[in-house]
Amino acid sequence: MSAVLLFKRFLQRPFQVAYVVPSSPQLCRKVCSRMDLSVPRTIVELGPGEGCHTREIARKMHPESRLLLFEIDDVFCEHLRKQNSHDPRIEVVHTDAVNLPAELAARGIGHCDYVVSGLPFTLIDLPKKKAIVEKVFESLAPEQHAAFIIYQVSTELKQYAKFFPRVVTEYCLQNLPPIFVMQFFKVALPHGSKNGKHAKNGKARF
């Protein structure tokens, strides 16, 4: 049912939805694995669509975590509210991603730990694209784990997110289409750290 909904919304709004089919289970698991969910976290998902990544995050996150879903599509919002009505940890926020800092502040949240996004940045105009990235950076906690995690068909966004001190890029073949997973970390590693997994511009394949 979710896949049918996504396809219908793609046909109606191809430049907003962008994806024809939901992310593969492998991609959902890999994106989720980029977060430490063993302790309470505040997580934001931008453009969750039909909710395949939402479901995976909800399964893995701590009972005391909080997940805010930023979605501008009316139909997806209604779908996400129904799908997650049983889970008080999840809230659907019907607004644009650029309103992230204001929406966090309205809820008494200073910063979030992770921002996950599959927004089609290659289709978003440049001023809006830059604004979203800047608002995400502003909203992330000043902690080493805090990161902007995106899955995209290209690595184009890197050139607009150079103020993030470290980036990890991975490539997932187990998805249609194959896709890049990128982590933009809010804080640099301590001087002398040899943690290759989180090294700036590090690369891996799965």
Tens digits of residue pLDDT in 70-97:
999 999 999 999 999 999 999 999 999 9
Longest dimension (CA), the chain: 51
Quick one: average pLDDT of 154-167? 96
The owner of tokens 């604004």 is: 131
Tell me: pLDDT of 201 over 70: no
Q: Which domains does the chain have, with CATH numbers?
A: 2-205 (3.40.50.150)
Pick from 134, 193, 190: which is nearest to 164 by CA?
A: 134
Pairing state between β 90-93 and 66-70: parallel
Tell me the pLDDT band of 203, cut-offs 50, 70 and 90: very low
